[in-house]
Amino acid sequence: MKTVQTLTSLHLSHHQRAQLIEHALAAYPFECCGLLLGRVRRGAAVVERVIPAANIAEGDRCKRFQVDWRTLLDAYRLARVEALEVFGSYHSHPEGPVRPSVLDEREALSGHVCVIVGPVLQAEPQCGAWVLSPMGTMTGIDVILSGDSEIATDADHV
C-alpha cells in the first residue's frame, strides 16, 4: 500500500548531485539512468541513496533509457532492508533540454519523481525534478541542495 501525497520538493546533497552529473558524463553520448531511494516527508522527497543502473533500452540510447531490471530488484531489496522508498529515477538528456520528453511523460509513474540532468557537456549541467500530476502532465518541483547527510527535520523550506 502506498500513501498518495503531493510532492513539492526533492532534496539532494551536493555530493549526490555531483554523482548524477558524473554518471551522466560517464555515459555520454548515451543517456545514463538510475534510481533514487530515500524518505518522503511532508511533501519533500529526501534522497538517501543514488543507485546507478545500466541503460538497457533497445534502440537509440542517446534518446531513451531503461533501468536494468536486476538493479531495480536490488534497489527494492535495499529499500526494504533500510526502510527507504524507491521514490524516483534519474536520467540524462545528453544534449538537453532539461525537461521531460514526450516519452518521459508517457512512461512516468504516478507518485514517482523524475530527475533529469543535462546538457551533459555544459560547464554546469542542470538538474531538474518533475512529478506526474493527476491530470497526467509533468509538473516541476523544487530541487533543494542540502549539506551531505544533514537532513532538515522541522524547518520549513521556502
Binding site for Zn ion (CB under 5 A): 101, 104
Q: Please report how close the Cβ of residue 99 comes to Zn ion at its closest, in angstroms.
A: 9
Q: Please report how close the Cβ of residue 44 comes to Zn ion at its closest, in angstroms.
A: 23
Is residue 1 helix, strand or coil?
Answer: coil
How far is residue 36's CA from residue 85's CA, in Å, rounded to a whole number? Answer: 8
Q: Which is nearer to Zn ion, 8 or 101 (CB)?
A: 101
Q: Please report how close the Cβ of residue 1 comes to Zn ion at its closest, in angstroms.
A: 29
Beta-bridged to residue 45, according to DSSP, are: 10, 40
Q: Which is nearer to Zn ion, 46 or 53 (CB)?
A: 53
Q: Which is nearer to Zn ion, 84 or 127 (CB)?
A: 127
Comparing every residue's Cβ against Zn ion, the nearest one is: 104
| Consecutive H or E run containing 110 | none
C-alpha cell at 2: 502506498
Residue 67 burial by CB count (10 A; 0-12/13-18/19+): exposed, middle or buried? Answer: buried
Q: Which is nearer to Zn ion, 39 or 63 (CB)?
A: 63
- Yes or no: say if 32 and 68 are a contact pair by the CB < 8 Å rule: no
Q: Please report how close the Cβ of residue 135 comes to Zn ion at its closest, in angstroms.
A: 20
